[in-house]
């Protein structure tokens, strides 16, 4: 198909803002969303900080006690059987569908699909299984499955929106959201769907975050400025966050038919696996390098065309080192600005790739390049990168978004400005 694929709607519930305007402002000012976090009330744990979601109270085991900022019109009956991150999704969905001006009739037209990414809710599963075991395995709550498993988002949203096109969930750890977006692009380019609602979300609670401490992946720092510092010599792990991002992707003709403005174009994507280790990246970032080259090839571009890279950069020693090496190998002498916005947001796991795709779209639509926050002294691999310390007030033409997940899964996207 010759029709371009564009982004026509965005919705954010993130630690740096619950609206497009607040997220954009935080990216420009490099204002982080990390704050002291009590993962388990009354218990001292190794993790001191998180990217919090102020105004969203979804910690109670009884969903009827959950609450959210009043600007979001969320039906409590719809939210109740969902995992806690479902509430974030409903708020982000409201924004994205509003911006893309997608009516209920269009969502049900069969030409609209839905791809979701989430690790499920370990918390809800924990609670339901705990109660089931306590009952001698006799009393299972009817919502035990649909409020907790990894497909919960697509189950609920497909029914809620009346989706009759494609519907699927993606589970590739921290590249899940990026996989969802990449395959959504293919659905449109193959002519199977005119538009795709792409959703990525995660809980933020003890069950979602603390298991990563057992792998040594979490920062033990208590100073927000020192905790998430991708590419810095002193980094010691990631800071957890949750939230939701919704992105509407559609053919340009579909958006134009409704008179909706394109925020950016999505030109291509690529994925490649390290084939190396269950949790560690291949030290030279081999798979990520391949994914970046594939994405640029898919877009018909080369490294010199790229004006900004939103790095995966979680602030773990091994992950950032492998990515720095991959970027150096792929971009060679081309001095492309690179930053990891996880310095500001924390790491959203399945959410991360789509959240950062959303940030790339904002950068293209509003003409800025997010700087690398919290960087004091790059290590020797990172020192080869161009890591601007402040946000640059300039229009990037083409940007690349990286994500990496467990099992050596790597995904890259390429977007361009819709202004050109």
Partner 1 sequence: MHNERVLISTSCAIDFLNYGQRAVRAFNQAMPVSTEFAAKSPAQIEEALVGFEPSCVAAALRYRESGEFEDFWTMLPGIIAFHLPRSAARPPAVLEDEMRLNEDLGLDSLALTEMAFLLDEVFQLSIETRDVVGVATVGDLKAFLKRKLETR
In this complex, which beta carbon is closest to partner 1, that of residue 159 or of residue 215? Answer: 159
Does 347 participate in catalysis according to the annotation? Answer: yes
Q: Which of 42, 44, 62, 105 is close enough to bind partner 1 by CB under 8 A?
A: 62
Q: Which residues contact 301 (CB under 8 A, 6 or more apart)?
A: 267, 268, 398, 414
CA distance 235 to 161: 42
Report if residue 397 touches partner 1, rule: CB under 8 A.
no
Site string for partner 1, 108-147 (x = CB under 8 A): -------------------------------xxxxx----
Nearest to 243 by CA among 80, 27, 23, 7: 23
Report if residue 70 touches partner 1, rule: CB under 8 A.
no
Site string for partner 1, 77-96 (x = CB under 8 A): xx-xx---------------
In this complex, which beta carbon is closest to partner 1, that of residue 141 or of residue 276? Answer: 141
**219 touches 106 (CB < 8 A):** no
Span from 59-67, 83-91, 361-369, 371-379 in contact with partner 1 (CB under 8 A): 59-67
Q: Considering Cα of 366, then 403, then 175, then 29, what sign does the dihedral take?
A: negative
Q: Which of 44, 70, 75, 380 is close enough to bind partner 1 by CB under 8 A?
A: 75
Does 174 participate in catalysis according to the annotation? Answer: yes
The residue annotated as part of the active site, out of 128, 347, 374, 413, is 347
**323 touches 279 (CB < 8 A):** no
DSSP-based three-state secondary structure for 263? coil
In this complex, which beta carbon is closest to partner 1, that of residue 163 or of residue 217? Answer: 163
* Residue 168 C-beta: closest distance to partner 1, Å: 22
Report if residue 76 touches partner 1, rule: CB under 8 A.
yes
* Residue 66 C-beta: closest distance to partner 1, Å: 9
Report if residue 190 touches partner 1, rule: CB under 8 A.
no
Locate 186 and state its tokens: 């293919």
In this complex, which beta carbon is closest to partner 1, that of residue 43 or of residue 64? Answer: 64
Does 18 participate in catalysis according to the annotation? Answer: no
Nearest to 313 by CA among 369, 237, 210, 367: 237
Q: Give the DSSP letter of residue 165.
A: S
Q: Give the DSSP letter of residue 383.
A: G
Nearest to 330 by CA among 379, 296, 283: 296
Report if residue 73 touches partner 1, rule: CB under 8 A.
no
DSSP states along 97-131: HHHHT--HHHHTSSSEEEEEE----HHHHHHHHHH
In this complex, which beta carbon is closest to partner 1, that of residue 66 or of residue 183? Answer: 66
The residue annotated as part of the active site, out of 85, 312, 374, 413, is 312
**185 touches 249 (CB < 8 A):** yes
* Residue 77 C-beta: closest distance to partner 1, Å: 4
- How far is residue 412 from each of residues 24, 36, 306, 311, 357, measured CA to CA in Å? 22, 32, 12, 10, 10
In this complex, which beta carbon is closest to partner 1, that of residue 75 or of residue 380? Answer: 75
Q: Which chain residues interact with partner 1 by CB under 8 A?
A: 62, 64-65, 75-78, 80-81, 139-143
Catalytic residues: 174, 312, 347
């Amino acid at each position: 198909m010759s029709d371009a694929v564009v982004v026509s709607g965005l919705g954010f519930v993130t630690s740096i803002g619950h609206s497009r305007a607040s997220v954009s402002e935080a990216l420009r000012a490099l204002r982080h969303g990390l704050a002291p976090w009590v993962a388990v009330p009354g218990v001292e744990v190794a993790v001191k900080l998180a990217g919090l979601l102020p105004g969203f109270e979804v910690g109670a085991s009884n969903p009827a006690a959950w609450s959210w900022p009043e600007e979001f019109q969320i039906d409590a009956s719809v939210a109740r059987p969902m995992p806690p991150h479902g509430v974030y999704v409903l708020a982000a969905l409201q924004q994205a569908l509003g911006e893309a001006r997608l009516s209920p009739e269009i969502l049900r037209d069969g030409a609209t699909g839905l791809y979701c990414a989430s690790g499920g809710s370990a918390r809800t599963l924990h609670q339901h299984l705990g109660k089931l075991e306590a009952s001698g395995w006799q009393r299972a709550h009817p919502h035990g499955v649909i409020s907790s498993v990894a497909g919960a988002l697509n189950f609920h949203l497909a029914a809620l929106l009346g989706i009759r096109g494609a519907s699927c969930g993606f589970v590739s750890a921290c590249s899940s959201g990026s996989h969802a977006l990449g395959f959504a692009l293919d659905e449109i380019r193959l002519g199977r769907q005119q538009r795709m609602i792409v959703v990525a979300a995660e809980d933020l609670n003890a069950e979602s975050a603390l298991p990563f401490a057992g792998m040594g992946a979490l920062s033990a720092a208590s100073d927000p400025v020192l905790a998430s510092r991708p590419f810095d010599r002193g980094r010691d792990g990631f800071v957890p966050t949750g939230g939701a991002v919704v992105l509407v992707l559609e053919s340009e003709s579909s958006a134009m038919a409704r008179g909706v403005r394109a925020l950016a174009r999505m030109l291509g994507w690529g994925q490649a696996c390290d084939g190396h280790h269950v949790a560690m990246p291949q030290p030279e970032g081999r798979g990520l390098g391949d994914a970046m080259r594939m994405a640029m090839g898919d877009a018909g571009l080369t490294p010199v065309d790229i004006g900004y890279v939103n790095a995966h950069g979680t602030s773990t020693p091994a992950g950032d080192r492998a990515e720095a090496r991959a970027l150096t190998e792929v971009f060679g002498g081309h001095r492309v600005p690179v930053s990891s916005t996880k310095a500001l947001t924390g790491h959203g796991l399945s959410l991360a790739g789509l959240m950062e795709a959303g940030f790339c779209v904002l950068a293209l639509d509003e003409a800025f390049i997010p700087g690398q926050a919290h960087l004091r002294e790059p290590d020797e691999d990172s020192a080869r990168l161009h890591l601007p310390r402040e946000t640059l007030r300039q229009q990037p033409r083409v940007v690349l978004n990286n994500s990496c997940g467990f099992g050596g899964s790597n995904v890259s996207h390429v977007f361009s400005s819709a202004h050109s």
